[in-house]
């Protein structure tokens, strides 16, 4: 990551909920209250200052998909995408796959269903985009930027016109079973700092040192913020990492452990099944990938908006074993001058939560220094001046976080009155 923030790291005070969470209204709110419910005309006007954020794999992947599938207008579009993705699944698994039926019966995600769950997420995200474009007339491809966490980056590439879904989806699905198998004997670690920044280079060096002891592999999966990193480790590697981390990281660092239910994509653990090499071979036998995405994509693999006409295969190969730089994508969103983030996919949690926590910390900092009133008036006006917003120092762009609006797309779509 190229830059950091010196915001305090104490837990943020409760802040207004990210817009569109189930059973909450209105569908669009800034973290600072006072905005009206967004209309489709608002979205049409604001899309040029919007960033499209695609969620990745999670323990829960249904969201409001069953409602969408039963919807008189939206249902046929979602069913079309699910059927297309289901045919890809069937080719990979060698058996019939009925993704609409899985959604209707609310089949829960398991490691055994990783192939079907991955396909359902991508199909649902692309269906939501199609509905926003065709039913509501919002020119989504005029958005300022897009990005996606983990599997969401694949949806961003399809939105950007770099690949068709049928070209790209077979690659992660063909590797999914091996990735799921590697979950055995792994533990998730949450590395948190109450003071100094967790520099990616130091975290990677620590993990490499522990892995070299021969007890198994450990690596970062996602850099959530300058102060928090998700790790995945085999066997007792997290215990070894905790014993070694004082020599590599700031003093006020803690390591919490949780049972791991996520395949270890984006970590070196996938090397055991040669996943990067196999992905590279599959990608170089895949059509597409010869144009720059539009809207432009901030890659969570590289942390930069650096997709061009030729490098998508190289970045996607690194996507398999490189940690997700989610914080860089968030920072890039704020520095771009974006005023709206549209969260796409079934029940997105990780990205909205990351923005909400950052917003809480910023507002606490402003209140501590009695600048919250100034912030509410000055920073939104800076946001509207895109030239000025892009020229804020890197460590100052985070101050915009409370004044960027957020929309959970599936909730907004289901709140609309359509014939």
DSSP labels for 331-351?
A: HHHHHTT--EEEEESSS--HH
Q: CA angle at residue 111 from 223 to 163, to 5 degrees?
A: 65
CA 414 to chain centre: 22
Instruction: Please give the backbone phi and psi of residue 232, each rounded to the nearest 5 degrees, phi first.
Output: -130, 130
Mean pLDDT of 213-217: 95
Helix (H, G, I), strand (E, B) or coil at 13: coil
- Rg (C-alpha) for the chain, rounded Å, is 21
pLDDT grade for 60, boundaries at 50, 70 and 90: confident
Prior bond of 257 cis (ω within 30°): no
Predicted TM-score of the model (pTM): 0.87
The owner of tokens 């830059």 is: 3
What distance in Å separates the CA atoms of residue 118 and residue 147, rounded to the nearest whole number?
17
List, in order of start, the domains of the chain with CATH numbers: 28-179+275-415 (3.40.366.10), 184-260 (3.30.70.250)
Q: Which of 130-144, 254-268, 373-387 has the highest mean pLDDT?
A: 130-144
Per-residue pLDDT at 202: 97
Query: Which whole number is the average pLDDT over 193-210?
Result: 95
Measured from the Cβ of residue 217, the count of other Cβ atoms closer than 10 Å reads: 23
Q: What is the pLDDT of residue 379?
A: 53
Asked if the model's pLDDT at residue 10 lies above 60, the reply is no
Is pLDDT above 50 for 87? yes
Q: What is the pLDDT of residue 369?
A: 61
- How large is the average pLDDT for residues 170-186? 94
pLDDT at 219 over 60: yes
What integer pLDDT is reported at residue 394 of this predicted model?
A: 56
Residue-level pLDDT at 365: 76
Q: What is the pLDDT of residue 374?
A: 52
**What percent of the chain stands above pLDDT 70?**
85
Across the range 194-201, mean pLDDT stands at 92
pLDDT of 91 higher than 80: yes
For 267, the token pair is: 């970590």
pLDDT of residue 286: 96
For 368-403, what is each residue's pLDDT tens digit?
Answer: 765 555 545 445 555 555 554 455 555 678 888 888
Does residue 184 register a pLDDT over 60? yes
What is the percent of the chain where pLDDT is above 90? 74
Per-residue pLDDT averaged across 321-326, rounded? 98
Mean pLDDT of the chain: 87
Q: What is the pLDDT of residue 22?
A: 41
Compute the Cα dihedral for 333, 338, 339, 343 and give only its sign: negative
Once rounded to an integer, what is the mean pLDDT over residues 48-58?
A: 96
- The sign of the dihedral angle between the CA atoms of 26, 27, 31, 33 is negative
**Residue owning tokens 């005029």:** 142
More confident residue, 394 or 227: 227
Closest CA to 152 of 110, 114, 122, 120: 122
With residue 102 as reference, give the H or E element that holds it.
helix 99-104
Buried b (16+ CB within 10 A) or exposed e, 304-329: ebebeeeebbebbbbbbbbbbbbbbb
What is the pLDDT at residue 377? 47
Give CA 200 to chain center in angstroms: 18
Widest Cα–Cα separation across the chain: 63
Q: What is the average pLDDT across 42-48?
A: 95
The pLDDT value given to residue 362: 84
Q: Give 330-345 pLDDT, tens digit per residue.
A: 999 999 999 999 999 9
The answer to whether residues 150 and 263 touch, using CB atoms and an 8 Å cutoff, is no
The average pLDDT across 279-307 equals: 97
Q: Which of 254, 207, 253 is nearest to 234 (CA)?
A: 207
Q: How is residue 101 written in tokens?
A: 């039926």
Would strands 186-193 and 253-259 be described as parallel, antiparallel, or unpaired? Answer: antiparallel
pLDDT band at 33 (very low <50, low <70, confident <90, very high): very low
- Three-state SS for 166-210 is HHHCHHHHHHHHHHHHCCCCEEEEEEEECCCCCCHHHHHHHHHHH
């Amino acid at each position: 990551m190229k830059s950091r923030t010196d915001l305090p790291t104490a837990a943020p005070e409760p802040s207004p909920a990210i817009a569109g969470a189930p059973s909450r209204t209105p569908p669009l709110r800034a973290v600072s209250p006072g905005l009206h419910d967004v209309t489709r005309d608002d979205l049409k006007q604001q899309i040029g200052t919007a960033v499209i954020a695609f969620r990745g794999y999670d323990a829960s992947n249904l969201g409001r998909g069953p409602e969408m599938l039963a919807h008189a207008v939206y249902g046929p579009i979602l069913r079309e995408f699910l059927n297309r993705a289901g045919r890809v699944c069937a080719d990979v698994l060698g058996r019939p796959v009925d993704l609409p039926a899985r959604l209707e019966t609310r089949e829960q995600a398991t490691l055994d269903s990783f192939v079907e769950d991955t396909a359902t997420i991508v199909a649902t995200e692309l269906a939501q985009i199609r509905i926003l474009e065709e039913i509501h007339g919002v020119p989504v491809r005029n958005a300022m930027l897009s990005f996606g966490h983990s599997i969401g980056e694949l949806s961003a590439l399809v939105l950007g016109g770099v690949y068709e879904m049928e070209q790209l989806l077979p690659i992660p699905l063909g590797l999914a079973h091996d990735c799921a198998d590697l979950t055995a004997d792994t533990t998730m670690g949450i590395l948190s700092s109450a003071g100094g920044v967790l520099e990616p280079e130091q975290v990677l060096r620590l993990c490499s040192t522990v892995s070299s002891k021969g007890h198994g592999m450990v690596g970062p999966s996602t850099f959530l913020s300058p102060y928090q990193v998700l790790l995945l480790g085999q066997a007792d590697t997290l215990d070894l990492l905790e014993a070694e981390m004082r020599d590599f990281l700031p003093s006020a660092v803690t390591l919490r452990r949780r049972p791991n239910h996520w395949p270890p994509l984006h970590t070196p653990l996938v090397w055991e099944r040669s996943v990067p090499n196999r992905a590279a071979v599959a990608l170089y036998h895949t059509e597409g990938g010869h144009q720059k995405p539009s809207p432009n994509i901030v890659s969570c693999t590289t942390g930069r908006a650096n997709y061009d006409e030729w490098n998508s295969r190289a970045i996607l190969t690194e996507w398999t074993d490189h940690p997700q730089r989610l914080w860089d994508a968030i920072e890039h969103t704020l520095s771009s001058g974006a005023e709206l983030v549209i969260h796409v996919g079934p029940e997105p949690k990780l990205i909205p939560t990351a923005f909400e926590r950052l917003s809480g910390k910023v507002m606490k900092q402003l209140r501590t220094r009695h600048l919250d009133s100034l912030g509410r008036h000055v920073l939104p006006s800076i946001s509207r001046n895109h030239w000025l917003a892009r020229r804020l120092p890197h460590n100052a762009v985070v101050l915009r976080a409370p004044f960027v609006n957020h929309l959970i797309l599936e909730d907004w779509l289901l709140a609309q009155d359509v014939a």
